Amino acid sequence: MELEVARPILDLNDRLAAQNRALLDAHGVYVLDLLASPGAGKTSVILATIEQLRERYSIAVIEGDIASDVDAQKIKAQGIPAVQINTGGACHLESQMIRKALDVLNLEQLDLIIIENVGNLVCPTDFYLGENAKVMILSVPEGHDKPLKYPGVFQASDAIILNKVDTLQVFNFDERQFMHDVAQINPRAQIFPVSATGGSGIKTWTQWLAAQIEGAKQEELRSTAV
């Protein structure tokens, strides 16, 4: 006899995620779930995003790692609240973990929470956390063939950040092929070529994010007015 374990686990996760979403909506907080492989530059993108948006929005970060709090300390050093979640070996964050982190944060004072999920292109894709959007980061050194190898994460993403574009020629990355493959897998996802450490493309990316935040605020106002 075979037992299908995944579905009950995901169902429970989704129910808890819906509770997270209700709590966040009640406080008007937009949540971004960032997915990427280890070393893709998630923390660098977060720091660059904070630099662009901190004067406009009150921001906090939830850091997901198997172990350590290195990235959380980098965020805190910028004067941004950060909550560390160590999964102890699990390859993704789950909604119950996020709820515990939300209980630590002062939601009344926040506009945006950025979740840095555990470095993985497979496991986090199926787990809804209560976020408004999933955004995937791919770095140039990982290769342009990743949309074909890991289509699930590209399909699940509302936008895709191509990081470390300053190394395109060094790694012989076929940007045109990458764009084509992403368009075939997920034509709705906008792609943002950036260099998080160099600064190029960050303004365009953060303008898109700001537009999503404002759009969510307007939607919430419309729903409460009905």
CA atoms within 13 A of residue 171's CA, in its CB half-sphere: 16
Residues 6+ apart with CB under 8 A from 209: 32, 49, 53
Q: Where are the domains of the chain?
A: 7-213
CATH, domain range 7-213: 3.40.50.300
Measure the CA–CA gap between 46 and 91, rounded to whole angstroms: 20
Over residues 23-29, the mean pLDDT reads: 96
Measure the CA–CA gap between 28 and 220, rounded to whole angstroms: 8
Over residues 32-60, the mean pLDDT reads: 97
Each residue's pLDDT tens digit, 106-160: 999 999 999 999 988 998 888 999 999 999 999 999 999 999 999 999 999 999 9
CB-based contact 81:60 (threshold 8 Å): yes
Q: How confident is the model at residue 2 (pLDDT cuts 50, 70, 90)?
A: very low
User: How large is the angle between the packed helices 202-225 and 42-53, nearest 10 degrees?
Assistant: 70
Each residue's pLDDT tens digit, 185-216: 999 999 999 999 999 999 999 999 999 999 99
Q: How confident is the model at residue 226 (pLDDT cuts 50, 70, 90)?
A: low
Query: Given the DSSP bridges, would you call strands 112-116 and 59-65 parallel, antiparallel or unpaired?
Result: parallel
